Structure 1
């Protein structure tokens, strides 16, 4: 069967996975190598995500890692997917990303999320206050405040981000809910939906975003990025084997277990690891996934784009073996 042409821009979402048998230093080195590889393969963006107190994730200091990745590459856009804004003062984020934009002009993206990116105890440690939910209530005001710090300086402005003022770092709103879609539409910002782990409201959120979109100077039209897990290999069977690492990680999430990214197992063995309700829940969370040979993956992604009318796709590919991960992104980039 012929595979239709697939022209939607592709980007990379990286959590700098710490794999079973590896460590954080190895994970960060692999992220640098993958960013360089993604640039050679023609990916548009390389984003890293903020998470805390997770043994399997090395991207907690997101701005620091963005700077290292930008320094190791030349042309690909590098950014956050995202910074969890309730964990930070808007001025600090503006200074961090304003500094990055000053060092790497026209290459930095700032994706913002409303969730804490961690558990409640760690959230308190990050924010140093007990009424953590109040911080999330302030999210719209914090986004507007952050936009102000990155905008051209005003004479009436008392507090300034230096560096930062005038850099106008592109801001994206990230989310998995209708709330984020509504806010992105109201502010006239591009919207990235986290369907790679929370796909339930994907279509409703995109409909809400497009229907309520208020054009802005920089974004006269709504712009949607959709997150998707991709494992691409020489055969469907090999890809299914590699994908079990992600399935096992999500199974661990269901059980409240954290740890490094597991080694893959045979798909038949996976059936002995989970109960029927656990399997259904993992499959639901991973519904936005494309797994198989290049031809299989392109067909699946083509169906996703047709369904969502996504302007871009951002690809998460947590594969235990680093060489297989590089190969997966390379196979995907070699479009039909």
Structure 2
């Protein structure tokens, strides 16, 4: 029996031909099933302006999931604090922690800040030289993906405009994180010495996490502050080893953690056989293409619909790092690969995200994996 916990990351995917209502109800149902299967925590992602993803308001969904479960830890993976205030985040999640004590995780990401920085970097620099894929102790580390085309998309500019007040600039992530932690502790003061108290929020047992895709600020802050850290192999497989290494190098013990705690994510599809799993996962490439083209995630196609979509060599190159690092197969096949991911990253926990067109196939994938992982 493996001692490494498995957890769930859910985007509330909207299936092609389905509705947002279907997606949200599927999320609540999957969470209840995941608790029965023995998963440790259930996180909701935050995505905006995508027809194929319904998780744009994670705090609202977390309340629904928490009310439908009893022991599962529930949280965000992650709140994009670049277009929020520290107080609004603490009050929202403090409300959840007051209603569901001992069960709420506040995962924070610097997506808003990173969007602005990345756009500036792309405008000011030449494309990076091509890199080669490598294999580290059996784990594929693909070349990094360039987001230049996504950042140049008019839809990226529209998204940024709608997520921020006119003229607003995202504050420094470190400053915003410091405000969140101070408000939770109850010792927040401004530059003039005035105090402020978040109600709800202050004094709750909310657990703060940082999520990151590189060895940059999020990983380093999580380590320096002694917070748990989640690294994104499923979003940015090229830099997962850099992320966990930077976190561990920066780690200092805290009142929260005596030693580093790392969660690593993975995209997974499990079915009874390798062939059946490959069929269910076939729409994943076109779905990722829709994101990386800058148009936003499309409703997740069925295998038949995916087979009818046009596909070129350029499309394949656009999504190769994500498709090649998706763990697809029978329970035994996927479990073996996940154990490699765990061992190479020294992960304390794995965060599994699974998208299929049919909800029943998604539930089955999580159930098959949980059973094999236990056995």
TM-score (normalised: structure 2):
0.83
CA distance in 1, matches of 2:82, 2:291: 23
Return the match for 1:146 from 158, 180, 196: 180
Return the match for 2:264 from 221, 226, 250: 226
CA distance in 2, matches of 1:130, 1:320: 40
CA distance in 1, matches of 2:304, 2:345: 32
Q: Which moved more, 1:29-38 or 1:161-170?
A: 161-170
Task: Map 1:34-53; keep pairs closer than 5 Å.
Answer: 34-53=30-49
- Distance apart, 1:131 and its partner CA: 5.0
Rate the CA distance shift 1:83–1:110 in 2: closer, same or farther, 3 A. Answer: same
2:25 — aligned with what?
A: 29
1:323 — aligned with what?
A: 360
Q: Give yes or no for the alignment of 1:278 onto 2:315.
A: yes
1:166 — aligned with what?
A: 203
CA distance in 1, matches of 2:341, 2:314: 26
Q: Give yes or no for the alignment of 1:57 onto 2:65.
A: no
Q: Which moved more, 1:37-46 or 1:115-124?
A: 115-124
Gaps of 5+ in 2: 116-154
Gaps of 5+ in 1: none
- Distance apart, 1:167 and its partner CA: 0.6
- Distance apart, 1:126 and its partner CA: 2.1
1:298 — aligned with what?
A: 335
TM-score (normalised: structure 1):
0.92
SS in 2 for 1:188: coil
Task: Map 1:250-289; keep pairs closer than 5 Å.
Answer: 250-258=288-296, 259-265=298-304, 269=307, 273-289=310-326
- Distance apart, 1:279 and its partner CA: 1.4
Return the match for 1:101 from 88, 97, 105: 97
CA distance in 1, matches of 2:98, 2:292: 42
2:141 — aligned with what?
A: none
- Distance apart, 1:157 and its partner CA: 6.3
- Distance apart, 1:276 and its partner CA: 2.5
- Distance apart, 1:106 and its partner CA: 0.2
CA distance in 2, matches of 1:325, 1:172: 26
Determine if contact 1:153/1:165 at 8 Å carries over to the other structure: no
Q: Give yes or no for the alignment of 1:309 onto 2:328.
A: no
2:121 — aligned with what?
A: none
1:79 — aligned with what?
A: 75
2:84 — aligned with what?
A: 88
CA distance in 2, matches of 1:298, 1:63: 31
CA distance in 2, matches of 1:41, 1:293: 17
- Distance apart, 1:153 and its partner CA: 5.6
Return the match for 1:183 from 221, 224, 234: 221
Determine if contact 1:199/1:287 at 8 Å carries over to the other structure: no
- Distance apart, 1:125 and its partner CA: 1.8
- Distance apart, 1:149 and its partner CA: 1.0
CA distance in 1, matches of 2:157, 2:264: 27
- Distance apart, 1:93 and its partner CA: 0.5
* Aligned-residue CA RMSD (Å): 2.0
Rate the CA distance shift 1:287–1:173 in 2: closer, same or farther, 3 A. Answer: farther
1:204 — aligned with what?
A: 242
Task: Map 1:98-137; keep pairs closer than 5 Å.
Answer: 98-116=94-112, 119-130=156-167, 132=169, 135=170
Rate the CA distance shift 1:251–1:326 in 2: closer, same or farther, 3 A. Answer: same
Q: Which moved more, 1:287-296 or 1:75-84?
A: 287-296
